[in-house]
Structure formats: structure tokens, C-alpha cells
């Protein structure tokens, strides 16, 4: 739906961008080797190949965040091959904890053990590519609650060479991805196409919203960090996602380059239980409201399809 707010926001951004590709965005993909309801190694390997080929074709650098607990779900060796493919394609890898559990449930000590347990394979693969393990992404974007839990985790990460990878664009791709896998499994081509179209439409709308949010806090576009997942949906959508970034004047940069934007030096004092992204955290630090009136949730049919599929598998 095109609203008056959208029109105002669009003309504002068009007027504001002298260079059509001046904006920066770093893509991050969580839950490697893959987020899928289909437990099939060939499917997982193939979707990663397709995704990586697409990223390379569009010159989009990316960082993949690994759950080493998933390596044992399928063929251990071939799962490691998938991680290696990311590094061979010139992408980076980070730690997303071993078992993808919440710090708020585990508490600081068990959560730190889970981070350490998620290191060895990724660390060894990075070393073989002359790189070091530097990035950590919190599962569910939950950074630890209450405050002492967060403080202990932050302290441990900082003294063990990690930097937290924030998220400043999140279009709930995971919620579309499971119904998409399910449509593929049921060979329902109509539904598959419908989900993909709705996903892309929602992603572009949310990209606009996050840019508006950044302008509210910083009066400018920041170098964005987008949260995505290693899914068949994104593998099939990568050409369309690249086109969305182009239309919005954004070009892909590595995560460390995006993090050079001074916006990422804004303190994050949020220690509540919710997994919220960083613009919302900073809105609290800076005492400025985000444009919630124009925020939209994923379509209702996607939300109900997700609940149904998630219960079935």
C-alpha cells in the first residue's frame, strides 16, 4: 500500500541522494550451514551454492554466522564443506553460538560456554584462510537480561577478541522461509511464487522504514547491517534482493567497513528481554522516537503459514 508517508519518504530519499549508489549495506546471514525445515544435506549444500553464486554475481560481500551445533544434524563432513564454500567464495564467517539458545534463559556462564563451544570448527577454517574469528551475533538478537548478565557477556566477548555484530535492517526473512520450504516440499508452485513475491515486497517496504528510522536518529543514511538467514528463499531471491538494494541506492560492503560508520559507536544500554535491533536500542539512548506509525508486520497469511508449518515439522 502506498501511503502519503511513503510518498513523502521516497521523494525525500531521492532528493537526498546525489550519487545513486552512495549508500552502504553489509549483508549478514545467520544460522549457517542453513535454516531449513527440510533435513536434507543435498538441499542444504545446493542452496548455499546458489546463494554464494548470487552474492558473487552481484559483488555483494557477506558474513555468515555459524551454529556449530547444526554440523551434527546432517552429514558432518559435508556441513563443514558448506562453511568452507563461504570462505572460498571470499565471504567471512562469525560465531552465532553452538546451540542457538537465549542468554536470558541460559544465564551468563552457560551462554559463554555455548559461545566457546561454537568456536573450534569455524576458527580452524578461518585460520586456513589466514583470517581470525572476530564477529559474534546474538541468537534472537537477545543480548542478555537482566543487566548483570549482559555486562558479564559483553566483558567476556571484549576480552576474547570478539565484536558484536549489530543489526540495523531486519525484514523477518525467517518467517517467510519456512512456509517457502514447505511449498517446495509440497511442490506447490503457486504458493512458492506467492510467498517469494510477498517476501520481496515486505523487504523493500521494511528497508524504507529502517532508512526512515535512521534519518530520525541521525538525520542521514547510516551504513546498514542487514539480517538475513541462509535459506532456500534467499538463495532463490538473491537477484531480486540485489535489485532492491540497487533501487535504494545501496551498495554492498563488508561488515567491518559498515561498522566504521560512527553511528555504531552509539551506546546500547538496553538490558530488557526482547531481541530488538540496534536502531530501536539507540532510540532509547538518544531519547528519540522511531516512526512506529508506519511500521508494518509481515502479512497475516505469512504469519499464520509460519505457525502452521513450524508446528508440522
Please report, as ranges, the residues that interact with Zn ion according to CB under 5 A: 30-31, 139
Count Cβ atoms below 10 Å from residue 40 Cβ, excluding itself.
12
CA–CA distance from 256 to each of 62, 92, 164, 230 (Å)? 11, 10, 11, 20
DSSP 261: S
Q: Which is nearer to Zn ion, 165 or 235 (CB)?
A: 165
Contact (CB, 8 A) for 55 and 245: no
Measured in degrees and rounded to the nearest 5, phi and psi for residue 199 equal -60, -50
User: What's the min distance (Å) between Cβ of 96 and Zn ion?
Assistant: 6
Q: For residues 309, 178, 172 and 112, what is the CA-based torsion angle, rounded to 10 degrees?
A: 100
| Rg of the chain taking only CA atoms, in angstroms | 19
Which residues make Cβ contacts (< 8 Å) with residue 276, sequence separation at least 6? 141, 270
User: What's the min distance (Å) between Cβ of 18 and Zn ion?
Assistant: 37
Q: Which is nearer to Zn ion, 106 or 263 (CB)?
A: 106
- Residues in the chain, overall count: 313
User: What's the min distance (Å) between Cβ of 230 and Zn ion?
Assistant: 10
Q: Which is nearer to Zn ion, 165 or 214 (CB)?
A: 165
User: What's the min distance (Å) between Cβ of 35 and Zn ion?
Assistant: 7
User: What's the min distance (Å) between Cβ of 121 and Zn ion?
Assistant: 17
**Helices 4-16/189-218 angle, 10° precision:** 70
Residue of minimal CB distance from Zn ion? 30
Q: Which is nearer to Zn ion, 250 or 306 (CB)?
A: 306
User: What's the min distance (Å) between Cβ of 286 and Zn ion?
Assistant: 27
Q: Which is nearer to Zn ion, 30 or 280 (CB)?
A: 30
SS3 sequence, 123-189? HHHHHHCCCCCCEECCHHHCCCCCHHHHHHHHHHHHHCCCEECCCCEECCHHHHHHHHHHHHHCCCH
Q: Which is nearer to Zn ion, 23 or 118 (CB)?
A: 118
Q: Which is nearer to Zn ion, 30 or 142 (CB)?
A: 30
User: What's the min distance (Å) between Cβ of 68 and Zn ion?
Assistant: 13
Amino acid at each position: 500500500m502506498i501511503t502519503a508517508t511513503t510518498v513523502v519518504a521516497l521523494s525525500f530519499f531521492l532528493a537526498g541522494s546525489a550519487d545513486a549508489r552512495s549508500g552502504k549495506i553489509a549483508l549478514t546471514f545467520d544460522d549457517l550451514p542453513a535454516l531449513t525445515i527440510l533435513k536434507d544435506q543435498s538441499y542444504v549444500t545446493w542452496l548455499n551454492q546458489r546463494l554464494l553464486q548470487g552474492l558473487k554475481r552481484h559483488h555483494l560481500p557477506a558474513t555468515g554466522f555459524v551454529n556449530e551445533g547444526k554440523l551434527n544434524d546432517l552429514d558432518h563432513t559435508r556441513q563443514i564443506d558448506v562453511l568452507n564454500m563461504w570462505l572460498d567464495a571470499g565471504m567471512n564467517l562469525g560465531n552465532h553460538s553452538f546451540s542457538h539458545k537465549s542468554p536470558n534463559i541460559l544465564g551468563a556462564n552457560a551462554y559463554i560456554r555455548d559461545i566457546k563451544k561454537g568456536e573450534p570448527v569455524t576458527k580452524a577454517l578461518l585460520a586456513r584462510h589466514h583470517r581470525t574469528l572476530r564477529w559474534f551475533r546474538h541468537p534472537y538478537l537477545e543480548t542478555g537480561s537482566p543487566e548483570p548478565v549482559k555486562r558479564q557477556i559483553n566483558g567476556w566477548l571484549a576480552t576474547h577478541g570478539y565484536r558484536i555484530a549489530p543489526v540495523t535492517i531486519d525484514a523477518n526473512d525467517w518467517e517467510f522461509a519456512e512456509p517457502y520450504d514447505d511449498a517446495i516440499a509440497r511442490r506447490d508452485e503457486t504458493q512458492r511464487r506467492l510467498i517469494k513475491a510477498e517476501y520481496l515486497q515486505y523487504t523493500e517496504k521494511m528497508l524504507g522504514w529502517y532508512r526512515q528510522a535512521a534519518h530520525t536518529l541521525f538525520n542521514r543514511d547510516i551504513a546498514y547491517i542487514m539480517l538475513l538467514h541462509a535459506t532456500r528463499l534467499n538463495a532463490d531471491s538473491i537477484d531480486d534482493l540485489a535489485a532492491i538494494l540497487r533501487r535504494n541506492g545501496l551498495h554492498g560492503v563488508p561488515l567491518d567497513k559498515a561498522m566504521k560508520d560512527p553511528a555504531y559507536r552509539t551506546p546500547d544500554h538496553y538490558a530488557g528481554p526482547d531481541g530488538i535491533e540496534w536502531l530501536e536500542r539507540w532510540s532509547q539512548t538518544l531519547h528519540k522516537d522511531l516512526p512506529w506509525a508506519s511500521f508494518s508486520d509481515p502479512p497475516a497469511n505469512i504469519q499464520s503459514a509460519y505457525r502452521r508449518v513450524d508446528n508440522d515439522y
